[in-house]
Amino acid sequence: MGFIWAIIVGLIVGAIAKLIMPGRDPGGIIVTILLGIGGSLLATFIGQSLHWYRPGQGAGWIASIIGAIVILAIYRAVIGRRAV
């Protein structure tokens, strides 16, 4: 059940990140889900490293969305260079 929940949350977080940072992105729903999951993992890792979260505690919605926006910006920079 945890894996399915991660996919659902990843889809929601990735979609919100794409709404906040609009633009043309190659990839569909799978990329959006991976973007959201990656953003949540990034936010959790950084938050635990800075002692904002206890070990085993995950990032919240806002931190996950910010993490997804960071990953989206990196994704666009990498894909943008490759397309040129």
- For the chain, 84 residues long, give each residue's pLDDT as a single digit of tens: 466 777 778 888 888 888 888 777 666 778 878 888 888 888 888 888 898 888 877 778 888 888 888 988 888 888 776 655
Answer whether 16's CB lies under 8 Å from 69's CB. no
Answer whether 38's CB lies under 8 Å from 68's CB. yes
**According to the model, what pLDDT value does residue 43 have?**
86
How many Cβ atoms sit within 10 Å of the Cβ of residue 67?
Answer: 26
**According to the model, what pLDDT value does residue 26 have?**
67
Tokens of 25: 């992105």
**According to the model, what pLDDT value does residue 83 have?**
58
DSSP-derived letter for residue 53 is S
Specify the pTM.
0.79
What span, in angstroms and rounded, lies between the C-alpha atoms of 56 and 27?
31
